[in-house]
Chain A
C-alpha cells in the first residue's frame, strides 16, 4: 500500500433516514479508517441530523445506525465538523447532538470531544484545504 497520507473529507449533507447516503457514507468512513489517512467528516444541511441524539427508528422499520458514530473515535476518526448555520436553520444546537469523544494516547488517554462546531466560512476553508472530498 502507498505510504502517501492525504487529507480526506467526507461531506454529509443528507438526513440519516429517507435515503441510504448517510449509512453508506459511514460504511466508507469505517473501511477508510484502515488506510491511515488524515480523515475529517463534515456535517451540513440536513446532514446535521445524522448526529442528533435519541434517534428512534422503530416505526420506520430501518436500522438505527446512530450508535455507530460513537465508535469512530476507536477508529481514530476524531474530527467531526458540524456547520453552525445548518444547525441553527433547523432549530438545533450542540446540545441536540450526541456526545462523541476520542481518547488521546498522547495525553494519558484523556477523552476529548470529536465534534467541532464551525461556521460556514470556516467550512469553506476546511473544504478548500483537502486532497480528496467525498460527498454524500
Chain B
C-alpha cells in the first residue's frame, strides 16, 4: 500500500513526529511505499538542522534525514508554516534577505499543494497530530 504521512505537531513537545517515524520505518520494512512525509503546523520544526537534543536522547531530525537518504522518502516542509516559524532554506533566506538558513539534509521546503497531491496519489493518508 502507498501511504502519505502528515505530521502536524512539533518535535519533543509532542509524540507525533516519533510515532510517524516508527510507523514509517515499520511500513517500509513491511514492504509498503511511503513516498512523501509532509510537515505542517509546528511539525515543520522537525526539519531544522540546528536542534541539539541531549546526547542520551533521540535525535528526530537525524533519524528523518537518514530515512530520506536510505529510502528516498520525500520530506516536505510547508513553506507558509515554515516562514512563520523561522525555517528557511538557502534560496528562501536569500530571497527574504535573511542571514542564515537551517534546513536539514533530506528535507525540502514547498507549498501546501504537495499535501493535497499526496492525498490524491496515496492509498491512505495518515495524520500524526494532536
Contacts and interface: CB of A to CB of B under 8 A. Distances in A.
Interface of A: 1-2, 4, 6, 8, 20-21, 24, 27-28, 31-32, 34-35, 37, 131-136
Given A27-B80, A31-B113, A35-B113, A134 B125 contact: yes
B120 A6 contact: yes
Contacts, number: 52
Interface residues of B, number: 19
A31 B112 contact: yes
Contacts of A131: 119
A27 B120 contact: no
A111 B16 CA distance: 42
Contacts of B6: 134
Given A31-B111, A32-B112, A134-B6, A1 B40 contact: no
Which 7 A-B residue pairs are closest in the complex by CB-CB distance? A31-B112, A132-B119, A32-B116, A35-B116, A132-B125, A28-B112, A2-B120
B106 interface: no
Interface of B: 6, 8, 40-41, 80-81, 84, 111-113, 115-117, 119-121, 125, 127, 129
Contact of A37 (B84, B120, B125, B129): B120
Given A2-B121, A24-B81, A134-B6, A31 B116 contact: yes
A55 B6 CA distance: 30
B57 to A, nearest CB: 26
